[in-house]
Structure 1
């Protein structure tokens, strides 16, 4: 585990395919948008950005209803 606060994951089919951590929330949001473009076409893809300090989900794709 890393000390960076913002954790980004890509999951599909119940498996984590990719993850990364960033210290900067701005950078993490920029990566989130980029990862939607790069990995959003995978079947059942879910991309989630979490604040590791508060355990809050900051954003996810696709949006839940």
Structure 2
């Protein structure tokens, strides 16, 4: 896949909502800004769902761009 294809890929940014280890909802967007806006909306709407996990991934790079709840950091 060349860079031009990656930039215009309508399914580049993949958002998933799982609860209790089961897929509840997912969506794909070509725009990172739109996908982050959707992620934020899902956190607001579904954060009260028992065991909810909401993750935004760049399918081209494999990088997790945002996740809720945030992983706990271990200091010390």
Common topology (TM > 0.5): yes
Q: Number of aligned pairs?
A: 64
Q: How do residues 1-65 of structure 1 correspond to structure 2 at under 5 angstroms?
A: 3-65=10-72
List gaps (5 residues or longer) in structure 1. none
TM-score (normalised: structure 1): 0.93
TM-score, normalising length from structure 2? 0.80
More helix by share: 2
Q: Alignment RMSD, CA only?
A: 1.2
- Bigger RCO of structures 1 and 2 (CA < 8 A, at least 6 apart): 1
**What is the CA–CA distance in structure 2 between the aligned matches of 1:3 and 1:24, rounded to whole Å?**
8
Unmatched 5+ stretches in structure 2: 1-8
